[in-house]
Structure formats: C-alpha cells, structure tokens
Chain A
C-alpha cells in the first residue's frame, strides 16, 4: 500500500495538479501516453490502487471478525486452568511463607485481575483491554474507510469567481466549475445568495526582505437566506458557514472595469473583466471578447500591471502587488471570434486562428496603454476602449462533505484505541499452594520486562496479608 502510493507523489496527479499533467503531455507525449495507460496520473482512483485497498479492506475484515469471536469468548470464559508445571513459566518463584488461597484471591482481585480458584491454586488474568483496544482500532479504521467512501459520495465542491459587487445564487448554473460525488443530488444545494461587498488584501510594506508578501486576504460578504440576511467574512483558514456548506477563499485578483465602443459609437461591452494573476506581483492577463462590435468583431488580450515599471528591454512588469501605479495594455485583434459556431469556448483564452493582430508588438500599431479613467481609440476606426475603474475579484469554493466529521470521530477513536492497545500488557499469574511448596508464576503476551517485579510484588503482598 505504501509502495503503491509513491508514484502518486512522483508524477503530477490530475486531481491535485491538472496543469502539471498537461505540461507532461506536451513535453513528452509518448511517455505520457504510456504512463496514462498505467493510470499513473490518477493513481488514487486507479484500478490497481483501488484493488489494493479493497484487498486490504477485505483482509482486515477477514482478520478482525474471527478475532472478535475469540476475544468475546475469552471475555466470557474464566481464566485458564492452572498449568501442571508452573516451573516452565518465564517467571517462577517459590514462596517462603505459608499463605491462604483466600489471601491470594483477594490480592489478585484488588490488582484488577480476573480470578478463578481451582482446587489448590488461583489462576488470574489481566489486560483484556489490550485486545479490545486492538479490535476497536481496526474496526475504527474500517469505519474511517467507509466514512471516506460514503462521505465522498454525497460530497460536492463548486468554484465561483465573484467580482466586488456581484451576487451568486446557490444553484448548479451559478457555478463556474462543479464537482459532485457520485451520490450527489441537487436538493443538497440549499437556497441562499452571497454577495461580495468588498475584498481587502494586506501586503507587507514594512520589512524590506519581505516586501509585497501577502499578510491577509479578507472577503466581506452578505449572505441572504429565505429567512435572514447577515454579514460575514471569508478569510483563508477561516471558511464561512452557509446553509448546507462552507465557503472558502481560494484565490483573488483584479477585475478592471472596461468599456468598449464599436466603430459606430455604440457600447458593445461594459463591465468588470476578470484578469488571472501570473506572478507574485499580480501581473495579470485578461481576455476581452466583443462579439457584438460592428463592423467587425473585436478580441483583446490585455495585461494588467498594478505597480508598473519598464524593464530595459522595453517590456513592462509589476513590482508591487497593490495598485499603486496601475497600467493596462491591450493587444487588439479583429476577425472571427469563433463564438457563433456554438462550440463552448474558454472565456480566459482567445482563439486567434481566424483573427488578425492590429495593435501590439510586431503589429502595424503599438499596443494600447491605459491608466484609470483614460480612454483610447482602437486602430482602423474600430472604436474606443476605456479603463473606467478597478475592482478586485475573489475565487470562492463552496464545499460540503458529510463524511468529514465521521472520519474525524473514528480517527480519534482509532488513535485512542491504539494507545490503549499499545500501553496495556496482558498477563497471567498463578499461585499454587501445594503440600511441599507454594509457587508463584507469571506469563505475559509479548515482551514484558516488568513481569518478574510484578510477580514478586504480588508474592510479598499475599505473604503480608496472610501474616
């Protein structure tokens, strides 16, 4: 099992690192195809990994159930018959004084042994909790596996990007991406809406070595259910409970407000555009598609620099993640956006195969540059574009997994049980009052360095009581 888990840490996994997998395919397509046929990009959902843990599960059940029967019988049974030859036991001592069976019985009982008087001897056993703990531990592990499976079945997680001021209503259509478990049903989504009022980011401006490191991200939201409306805050590490789920903050970035007027002067596009951050200083890329522009469709690939500076090469870069000196640049394309064919397109990518670059590097016109409040004409009389304002967006994850709490509970039971199982020692002690001599003997399951000492103590105590 441990060995089988290793490849999942070596190769990128689709579940954790989809881009890594894509990169692998583009760099080494042949090797990637071989690896993929062995399911090495989906190790933890692969046939062979599942086979291993199902086998483990079955063998666990097959081992634990018979042991439970044995243990149940042992719990009900009296301590074993005193062996004939106590001298064969790992600890064997001869008493120096006459004692009574009753004294031996009482002392052993007081020490928590289960005791049975058999003729001229007392047989005692202690430490049944060791096996109980052991069994509870294994049952809890089974319960954890079941809780993981069932909980995963009913779970869901959905992602949604919200720009400041936008509202999201909880239904399937509102999510940008949604991954349900196999047993998910739509009624799990309870009615509520969530508005992102404001998104605050705190960066370190104080410590030179640490400049621009994020210190905190705070999303101020309003949650409205059918009954009430309440204000809340979502921060990293501090998810916000909403009806039937938790809302997590997983990403953020800038959403400049942009208006495009076409060549005829009509507003063809207006609103905030989500720009995806590319580096720690929030250099971001956005794509603007204007299918309704006349006479020709317009597409723009735009860069946003919150605090711009010019490199020696003439290219721009951002040197600080907060908008101290923000700049937008646009590469402008005209032609067919490819949106009319009905094929779903990625809103964050521009397919330029049927388009012509009219402004940008290596184009007839230079890239457009805008600061907040500015507006510029597009080349060839295509219209104008203006940078009206700057908002932030937050990526929110809404996640629900009913199994989590049970996994937690059974994990803790397992932990508690394994501590008991590891710390309790199972011991048998016998006292035989023969005609010639009095024998004390001890036996432990497994290694027990204290056995000798414990038998001695018991002997002395019994002798003390009989005196």
Chain B
C-alpha cells in the first residue's frame, strides 16, 4: 500500500486558507460598517450586500484550501485539530450562506464572520501540523460519516449561538439604536431554536454513529472515554434547551443561556479536551 503525502501541496492549501482569512476580514469590516450605518438609515443595505459577496468568495477560497489539504494528505481533511478546525469553519460558512433566505439571518453576519475568522486564526497559528497518515483505528468510512455530521452539528450550533448572544444583548437593553433595529426578541429566539433543532438532531446522529464505530474499533459501543463523556454532556445540555423551549416560562433568557452553555461545551470539547485531557480520541496531532 502506497500513500503519498504532499507537504508542498499542503503549504499551498495553507495559502488558500490564509487568503480566505483576508477575505473574511474584509467581510467583517463591511458587516461592521453596516451595523454602524443602521443607526442613521435602516433602509441602507449596500454594505451588507457587498459583505455577503465577499463572504461568498471567502467561502470558495477556503473550500479550495480544505480540498487541497485533503489531496495533500490523500484522505478526508478532518483527521486532526487543524483539519477539523478549517473544515468546521468551511461548514459554518456554507450553512450560513445557504440559510440567507431565512428572514433576520443577516443580523448575525458579524458574529459568524468573526467566529470563523478566529477559528481559522487558531487553526493556522496554533494547530497546524504537517500532513500525516492516520492510525489504523481511524481508517474507516465512519471517519467520513461520524465526523462530517459532527462538523455539521457544530455549524448549526455556532450560528444559533450568534442569535443567543444578540438575544441576550437586546434583552439586557444594551446596544441602543442599533439593537432596536435588529429583529425582535421573538424572532431571534425562533431562528436560534430552528438552528439548534437541526444541530441537536445531527449531534444525536453523530453520537449514534460514533457508538457504532467504537463498537467496531474498540470492541465496545460506549466506554466513557473523555470525548464520549463530553459528547454526552453536550447532548444533555441541548436536550435541556429543547425542553426549556417547550416548557412555558423557561423559554427566553434561560433557554438562551442554556444554548450558549451548550455551545461553550462544544468549544471546550474541541479545544480543551483535545489538548489537555487523556483519552482515545486524542488526535490533535500536536
């Protein structure tokens, strides 16, 4: 079996990822201008429109970067922390751009752009590793199914988190005129709920797929490995969130906090658990 790794190609991929960060920065500026503009003239949307075009270009450039990384490593590009981070960023942007029809979605453009920018920055500066083959335990088609769905769930949760943040800011009465011209609380909550709902279903699926894979690779479907524990914790928190939304008197601020705690746990699961905890899912490559 010959696997050819191509580190030069990976460096080219890195260039594309960096270029995508440039475009993202421009888009972030444009969205920030749009927010400032909102104060004087709520009908003016030129900045936002151009911003979305730039965001589209950023997404395409990032897609090329992720794709080249996959070619360079001769496998799917999500087997270590760096690759997982760039693939997640790509997924968040793709889901966001595909959801542009949802009314009020534009209000979290700054958050989504900023969050992906930070993710890519962390990936490039902290998590980058040379292309390597993956250990036999990871060589499975479940790597495709389990991880793609996990990344999807993260994408939906991330966008929902943006709405939770804006909800809480608006609810607290901060942000003055700008926030008052955002969609109303009800709508912010409703959009967050939709995204979290899809995220929760994906997360449930990734949990099940992970268990099937664990049974194949480690001869048990559940073993309280640190990653398994945190995946379970996240599942319980989002289940709690959905419960809160269905219970009168618990929606609103409390549900928004639960959603944010859930997303905090997602980030914790990725960064802290990967880097500082021991377990079978240690694949940061660092």
CB neighbours of B232 from chain A (8 A): 2, 5
B residues 1-29 touching A (CB-CB < 8 Å) = 1-5, 7
Partner of B137, one of A15, A236, A404: A236
Q: B226 within 8 Å of A by Cβ?
A: yes
CB neighbours of B184 from chain A (8 A): none
A419 touches B219 (CB 8 A): no
Q: B230 within 8 Å of A by Cβ?
A: yes
The interface-forming segment of B36-44, B108-116, B154-162, B201-209 is: B201-209
Q: Quick one: given A210-B133, A399-B220, A449-B190, are A408 and B201 in contact (CB under 8 Å)?
A: no
Number of A residues near B (Cβ < 8 Å) is: 52
A214 touches B135 (CB 8 A): yes
CB neighbours of A77 from chain B (8 A): none
Q: Quick one: given A8-B229, A422-B197, are A207 and B136 in contact (CB under 8 Å)?
A: no
How distant is A42 from chain B, measured CB to nearest CB, in Å?
A: 10
User: In the complex, what residue of chain B is closest to A13 when comparing beta carbons?
Assistant: B224
Partner of B4, one of A1, A207, A418: A207
A237 touches B139 (CB 8 A): yes
B residues 194-239 touching A (CB-CB < 8 Å) = 197, 200-201, 204-205, 208, 211-212, 215-226, 229-230, 232-233, 236-237
Q: A125 within 8 Å of B by Cβ?
A: no
**B237-261 Cβ-contact flags toward A at 8 Å (1 or 0):** 1001010001000000000000000
How distant is A414 from chain B, measured CB to nearest CB, in Å?
A: 8
User: In the complex, what residue of chain A is closest to B142 when comparing beta carbons?
Assistant: A237
B237 touches A9 (CB 8 A): no
A215 touches B136 (CB 8 A): yes
**B132-159 Cβ-contact flags toward A at 8 Å (1 or 0):** 1101110110000000000000000000
Partner of A9, one of B201, B229, B246: B229
A residues 1-39 touching B (CB-CB < 8 Å) = 1-2, 5-6, 8-10, 12-13, 15-17, 20
Number of B residues near A (Cβ < 8 Å) is: 52
Q: Quick one: given A408-B211, A422-B242, are A9 and B220 in contact (CB under 8 Å)?
A: no
- Measured CB to CB, the residues of A under 8 A from B are 1-2, 5-6, 8-10, 12-13, 15-17, 20, 43-44, 148, 157, 202, 204, 206-207, 209-210, 213-217, 235-239, 246, 248, 250, 397, 399, 401, 404, 407-408, 411-412, 414-415, 418-419, 422, 446-447, 449
Q: What are 15 pairs between A and B in contact, CB < 8 Å?
A: A9-B226, A9-B230, A9-B277, A207-B3, A209-B5, A209-B130, A209-B131, A215-B3, A216-B136, A236-B136, A239-B216, A404-B215, A422-B201, A446-B246, A447-B186
